[in-house]
Chains A and B, each alone.
Chain A
């Protein structure tokens, strides 16, 4: 039951975020809002299928392809959002600390491969590692240039990635179908991170 509530909350949050970013994209004709709307749209579709499947069969999907395809697309859009909204100076900025992201992603890929498909985990962690790499670089660049809105945007992206990694790790150690399971805390946290991303993007792009 808690899984259905969790997914329903997440569906409502991403749907509202998709609606808001879609409206902003239509009104302001900014590329960033279009990508953001696509990000939320793809995320919503994946959750919608997951929820309907759970409601109809009382199980979660056993072969994950349908939702995974949407979620992979959504993280591709997130990667695009991070890179497409960066200025030329930010794009060319490099800092060794950014390599933390690919290193963590590689370690977690090897860890997750004990449970899931190799290819799927490599794609997931590759996307996360690349997005994290750009975001850490961007965060350091924005902090040095004192661009607060841009710095907060990268913080929101990094928070989203961190919560997603915590969620995946928690799913490897399934406790129970109750709220005592940390998996649900992180999943609710993910809904919050999705809202934060919308606010941070609006502040970074709207100016």
Chain B
């Protein structure tokens, strides 16, 4: 059994103390790191709850429940930031990526505590696979929200559409990994390929990828 709440407390404590001695800008960034980690912690609890409610096995939970719960939990702090603070586009885009990266990092730490760190090749696959997948989902949602939130009529449908895109990508990745064999390798390559593609598209369309 992994005590993820204990890991969370251990990781969050130095950040909270550090916030007392830093400027406002850095404090905001650390808050978003904490928001990403908190989203990951709560997602684990909510995933377990829904898996119990639907009597889902591990594969079903990974392919059908976890993507929805995790992407919604990642989106909530960003939506709060956008609705309450109405930040600049590039700033909000950067914070969305910070949430995604901290979510993936905390998830990886919990995985390492449970499974150990002996196999570097597998850890690289996991790091560039799961890690990149969360970043791609975060980047898609961030870039899309910056566009859709410019007009009121697009907000609701746009947010739902972007959430759907992120959830589908996440679920497809989990599905491919559960298949094994050559399909699993495609799954591992998918996030990095998608990250490269998304970066190229954003550059070609001359859309911002975050704060410069």
Contact = CB atoms under 8 A, between A and B. Distances in A.
B157 A69 contact: no
A67 B68 CA distance: 10
Nearest to A48: B168
Interface residues of A, number: 28
Interface stretch (A71-79, A157-165, A181-189): A71-79
Listed from nearest, the 10 A-B pairs whose CB atoms lie closest are A70-B164, A73-B160, A76-B157, A73-B161, A45-B168, A63-B64, A73-B164, A65-B68, A66-B171, A69-B164
B156 interface: yes
A70 B65 CA distance: 15
Nearest to B171: A66
Given A42-B161, A63-B64, A56 B168 contact: no
Contact of B60 (A38, A45, A63, A76): A63
B112 to A, nearest CB: 27
Given A63-B65, A66-B167, A49 B172 contact: yes
Interface string B26-62: 0000000000000000000000000000101001100
Interface string A9-46: 00000000000000000000000000100100110011
A168 interface: no
A69 B60 contact: no
Interface string A72-94: 11101101100010000000000
Contacts of B183: 56
A42 B175 contact: no
A76 B156 contact: yes
Contacts of B59: 57
A103 interface: no
B158 interface: yes
14 contacts: A41-B165, A42-B165, A57-B59, A62-B60, A63-B65, A65-B65, A65-B167, A66-B63, A66-B64, A66-B67, A66-B68, A69-B167, A73-B157, A80-B154
B108 interface: no
Interface of A: 35, 38, 41-42, 45-46, 48-49, 52-53, 56-57, 61-63, 65-67, 69-70, 72-74, 76-77, 79-80, 84
Contacts of A76: 156-157, 160-161
Interface in B100-159: 153-154, 156-158
Contacts of B64: 61-63, 65-66
B178 interface: yes
Nearest to B179: A56
B99 interface: no
Nearest to B147: A34
Given A57-B175, A66-B63, A69-B68, 12 more contacts: A41-B165, A46-B164, A46-B168, A49-B172, A52-B172, A52-B175, A52-B176, A62-B54, A65-B65, A69-B164, A74-B161, A79-B157
Contacts of A42: 160-161, 164-165
B168 A53 contact: no
